Amino acid sequence: MERNAKDSTYQEEQSRWREALYRLASAAFLEEPTDEQLVTQIETARAALAEEGSWELPCEQQLLTHLASLDESDADLGRRVRSEYAELFIGPRPPKAPLYESMYRGCPRRLLTQVTRQVRDTYESCGFTVAKRNRIPDDHIGYELEFAANLCAREALAWEEDRVEEAVSWQSMRHEFLEEHVSQWIGGFASAVELAEGGYFGPWARFAQGIIEADVETGVGQDDCAQGGEAR
């Protein structure tokens, strides 16, 4: 029996939806937002909420509500957000919520540990290279989320072109990476941001945590669904 084309379309749509979420979360932590980007975020969030659509994940609506509540006419908004970014993630004083997996796992907790090497090896096995290789450690949360987004994009293309086994392979690889790496520390990272009273970045951290945990939770079911749709 041939695989139902509707199943393939659904899988492709889910992959592209997750890709968009991961890219959104990745961008939030890779660089501090400009004034123009903040205004765009606020306007986009308000427009999305005005449509009164439904969201698959609670963290989506929670993030939109947070962004929509910001005052784009506040001339000091950008400065405060960028100051928060520096205090939380960069320094010059020790960051309150480091952006790197190695700072939350293992002992001692420091940069550039075996965890970082493992993450880089996983990237390289998929032909993925971070933008600032050898300048920013590979286990930066922004890069890990970007990697997940890239795996979603490859999976979506495979579904679109009816390459079922390849699609399932990319999907399984993403779930394995999330389970072995990102999900192991995203909760600690989000808690650190909130404990440091990250007014702007707290909801972004919980958004990232929400999409990762939902992806991990549905991983087995998605794989089963995908495999069940293959030709018999």
Q: What is the pLDDT of residues 23-71, one digit of tens each?
A: 999 999 999 999 999 999 999 999 999 987 778 899 999 999 999 999 9
Average pLDDT over residues 119-128: 94
Please tell me the pTM assigned to this model.
0.89
Q: What confidence tier does 228 reach under pLDDT thresholds 50, 70, 90?
A: very low
Which of the four pLDDT bands, split at 50, 70 and 90, describes residue 4? low
Decide: helix, strand or coil at residue 131: coil
pLDDT value at residue 6: 60
Count the neighbouring beta carbons within 10 Å of the beta carbon of residue 108: 7
Work out the number of other CB atoms within 10 angstroms of the CB of residue 48: 16
Domains of the chain: 5-228 (1.10.3480.10)
